[in-house]
């Protein structure tokens, strides 16, 4: 293993029997490159340089992503805080869905999810929200909540679902865009 530079990008390089070059940008922004033995370091540097834009974009995205506490007690506290915040935002929406459509979630869960902001089981009436939403703006959190509430009526992402979402939250596309940014 060694430390190398490709332009402004500093990276560690480890060589192994692997057959292709793998570039990983860690959460802390450090760059790790794995390459096959037969590839010269000069060639690796050239490849890393060619991926500079992608690496820098990943570093920027990671810097924006808040780091969740690793301490269990701290994480539990954050989860509690998030639950209060989410339910606070959800309250008027839940009331509205109950009155207008006769549906309401049976249970709310907040946990760390890696690929989704929320989920809804129309069978059990459970809505799960991603703890990471806590770091997003209220309109974004509200969007995810309304999205999941719509699933109480339409479990899939069919035409009916989007018609309902559009009706309940006309600016949902803007909010989704902000959420993804
Ligand atoms: Zn959905």
**Which residue range(s) make up the domain with 54?**
2-64
pLDDT tens figures, 41-67: 999 999 999 999 999 998 888 777 777
For residue 94, pLDDT over 80 is answered with yes
For residue 29, pLDDT over 90 is answered with no
pLDDT tens figures, 161-172: 999 999 999 999
Q: Average pLDDT for residues 132-160, to the nearest whole number?
A: 96
How many domains would you assign to the chain? 2
Residues 56 and 84 in one domain: no
Q: Please give the distance, rounded to the nearest whole angstrom, from the Cα atom of residue 161 to the centre of ligand 1.
A: 9
Q: Please give the distance, rounded to the nearest whole angstrom, from the Cα atom of residue 125 to the centre of ligand 1.
A: 14
Q: What is the dihedral of CA 33, 34, 37, 39, to 10 degrees?
A: -50
Residues 53 and 106 in one domain: no
Residues 57 and 83 in one domain: no
Q: Please give the distance, rounded to the nearest whole angstrom, from the Cα atom of residue 116 to the centre of ligand 1.
A: 9
Which of 64, 96, 112 lies at the terminal end of a domain, its last residue? 64
Residues 94 and 175 in one domain: yes
Cα(71)–Cα(73) distance, integer angstroms: 6
For residue 96, the model assigns a pLDDT of 98
Pull the structure tokens for residue 130.
């991603």
Residues 121 and 159 in one domain: yes
SS (H, E, C) 25-46: ECCCCCEEEEEECCCCHHHHHH
Query: pLDDT band at residue 118, thresholds of 50, 70 and 90?
Result: very high
Cα(17)–Cα(181) distance, integer angstroms: 38
Q: Please give the distance, rounded to the nearest whole angstrom, from the Cα atom of residue 156 to the centre of ligand 1.
A: 7
């Amino acid at each position: 293993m060694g430390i190398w530079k490709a332009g402004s990008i500093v990276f560690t390089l480890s060589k192994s029997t692997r057959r292709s070059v793998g570039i990983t940008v860690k959460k802390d922004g450090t760059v790790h490159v794995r390459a096959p033995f037969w590839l010269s370091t000069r060639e690796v540097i050239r490849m890393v340089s060619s991926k500079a834009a992608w690496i820098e974009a990943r570093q920027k995205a990671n810097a924006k992503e808040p780091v969740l506490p690793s301490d269990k007690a701290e994480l539990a506290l954050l989860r509690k805080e998030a639950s209060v915040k989410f339910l606070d935002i959800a309250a008027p929406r839940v009331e509205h869905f109950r009155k207008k459509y006769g549906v309401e979630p049976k249970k709310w869960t907040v946990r760390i999810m890696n690929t989704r902001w929320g989920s809804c089981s129309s069978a059990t009436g459970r809505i799960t929200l991603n703890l990471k939403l806590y770091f997003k703006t209220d309109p974004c959190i509200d969007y995810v909540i309304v999205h999941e509430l719509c699933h109480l009526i339409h479990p899939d992402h069919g035409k009916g679902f989007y018609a309902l979402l559009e009706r309940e939250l006309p600016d949902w596309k803007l909010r989704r865009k902000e959420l993804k940014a």
